[in-house]
Structure 1
Amino acid sequence: MQRYFVAPDQFEGSRVVLTGDDARHALRVMRMEPGDRFIASDGASREAVAAVTAADNGRVEAEIIFELPMDGEPKWPVTVAQALPKGDKMELVIQKGTEIGAAAFAPFQSERMIVQYDDKKEAKRLERWSKIAKEAAEQAHRSRIPAVEPVRTWRELTASMAAYDLVLFCYEKEGGSGGTGLREALNAFRKERLAAGATERGLRVMLVVGPEGGFTPREAEEAEAAGAVIVGLGRRILRTETAAMAALACLMYESGEMGGD
């Protein structure tokens, strides 16, 4: 069933209204008619199945049939901090990361990034990335749309690390024998957290992934000084967009999203 994210004021008691791009999609792509059903979510507190009662003039009106639980979110809210990659790779990271379960994306600038950052284009690019996150969240039946934050400097990123329970800094030099792996770092953190009487639910995690050229030793040192745990993702060197998705999938598995505890 098609899902649409709407503003809270588009819910009107026992009715919901689609407008703008959502209405055009419902009318032109889905060819909805009276009686057809879809899911509407405000991305915060309300989600429901609704049946179309009127569809015309760029507006779709629907009657709510029943409410749904908002249970499409992972137990661990994970922010993917991705160094700006070249081309449209950031779009891929956001699209697939949203499907896998990322709670937010924090693009940032790093020393070895290849792309030339242009702050004049940021607003348009941010709008594009946010649209991709919305469409991916609808396709994946997420209960919320992941936030796509404005591009940060490296200093801004390291300063923000203190707001997280765990920051995992993916560094290829930790991927060989003797390095700290992702699972090893998680197990050590879990023991420490449980020993302190805390639970895992709601664990705020930041996953930091470097650009095509990787991180510099100085960046790794500064990240560790800011509280990040330096981890490797195995013995193979992954592309930047692959690293983000592989590590995120591992976190979803470890949090019990793939079944079990």
Structure 2
Amino acid sequence: MTPPLFLFPELPADVAVGSLLTLGGDEGRHAARVKRMTVGEILLVGDGRGRVVEGRVQQVGTDEVVVSVLEVRVHPAASPRLVVVQALPKGERAELAVEVMTELGVDEIVPWSASRSIVQWHGARGEKALERWRSTAREAAKQSRRSFVPAVSALAGTSAVAARIQGAAALVLHEEAGVSIASVDLPADGDVLLVVGPEGGISSDELAAFTGAGANAVRLGPEVLRTSTAGAAALSALSLRLNRW
């Protein structure tokens, strides 16, 4: 079984094989109290930005574990990056979308306030919702043993999404598109930006804004998917085409 992964953004730059690493804070408490790590067990500690340490537990305290470093791995960032602009789903489907896309390898998630989104983020409620997305991405990255935690950007409006499309290989999922996602050309580097609309669909004005900025409308297949699952399905198709899997 793959050892559990704990996130430690402050992973020292000079960490090396044979050195001792103290995992404290929330992750240290989680390792000691929830995972109940014991002396001699193997675990992974990552900074969420590509560096992962494999180590053996040397000591367990109340709120921390001390690890002897066995190996230091540096993983390169994926290229091209997979960026998903996700229209705000309703209820628990929002966290489901973030969780599954993270497990499938998304590099960045951009929450989008589409005109037909039932849910809208405002003020403190929006800040809490954004933090839930970020927390969900962190936990899903740990669960899937990812060396990179995907960025969850600030809420974007349609004009901001159109600006992101410029300079990217942008694809807008649309059930009436005549082009399959399996047939579009993909770049070797840069960003592949995927736009996933809300349950009510992307409006004609939004589609015009995105295609006018350079995006291509594409379809996944004959089925109409929920906004919370369409991004995951598209990521799977793109990952196969980009030889990520």
Fold shared per TM-score above 0.5: yes
* 1:249 aligned residue (232, 236, 239): 236
* 1:88 aligned residue (92, 97, 109): 92
1:225 paired with 2:230, answer: no
Corresponding residue of 1:239 = 226
The structure-2 alpha-carbon separation of the partners of 1:116 and 1:69, relative to structure 1 and needing over 3 Å to count, comes to closer
CA contact (8 A) 1:75 1:257 kept: no
CA deviation profile, 1:207-228 (whole Å, cap 9, x unmatched): 1000000011111111001111
Between the aligned partners of 1:232 and 1:182, the Cα distance in structure 2 is 6
Give the letter for the 2:4 counterpart.
Q
Between the aligned partners of 2:50 and 2:74, the Cα distance in structure 1 is 9
* 1:4 aligned residue (6, 29, 32): 6
Give the letter for the 1:151 counterpart.
L
* 1:44 aligned residue (49, 52, 57): 49
Corresponding residue of 2:182 = 183
CA contact (8 A) 2:32 2:62 kept: no
Which shows bigger deviation, 2-11 or 89-98?
A: 2-11
1:135 paired with 2:145, answer: no
Shift of 1:134: 1.1
SS in 1 for 2:183: helix
State how 1:111-130 maps to structure 2 within 5 Å.
111-130=115-134
Misfit runs of 4+, over 4 Å: 9-12
Corresponding residue of 2:164 = 160
Shift of 1:163: 4.1
Give the letter for the 1:172 counterpart.
E
SS in 2 for 1:212: coil
Between the aligned partners of 2:124 and 2:49, the Cα distance in structure 1 is 31
Corresponding residue of 2:112 = 108
CA contact (8 A) 2:116 2:201 kept: yes
1:59 paired with 2:64, answer: yes
Compute the TM-score of the two structures, normalised by the length of structure 1. 0.86
Aligned length: 240
The structure-2 alpha-carbon separation of the partners of 1:47 and 1:116, relative to structure 1 and needing over 3 Å to count, comes to closer
CA contact (8 A) 1:74 1:252 kept: no
Give the letter for the 2:53 counterpart.
A
> What are structure 2's unaligned runs of at least 5 residues?
none
Compute the TM-score of the two structures, normalised by the length of structure 2. 0.91
The structure-2 alpha-carbon separation of the partners of 1:22 and 1:10, relative to structure 1 and needing over 3 Å to count, comes to farther
* 2:37 aligned residue (8, 29, 32): 32
Give the letter for the 1:53 counterpart.
Q
CA contact (8 A) 1:81 1:209 kept: yes
The structure-2 alpha-carbon separation of the partners of 1:10 and 1:61, relative to structure 1 and needing over 3 Å to count, comes to farther
Corresponding residue of 1:206 = 193
Aligned CA-pair RMSD: 1.8
CA deviation profile, 1:182-231 (whole Å, cap 9, x unmatched): 1122xxx35xx6xxxxxx2x341111000000011111111001111111
CA contact (8 A) 1:84 1:90 kept: yes
> What are structure 1's unaligned runs of at least 5 residues?
194-199
Q: Percent identity?
A: 32
> Higher helix proportion, which one?
1
1:216 paired with 2:203, answer: yes
Between the aligned partners of 2:150 and 2:211, the Cα distance in structure 1 is 26
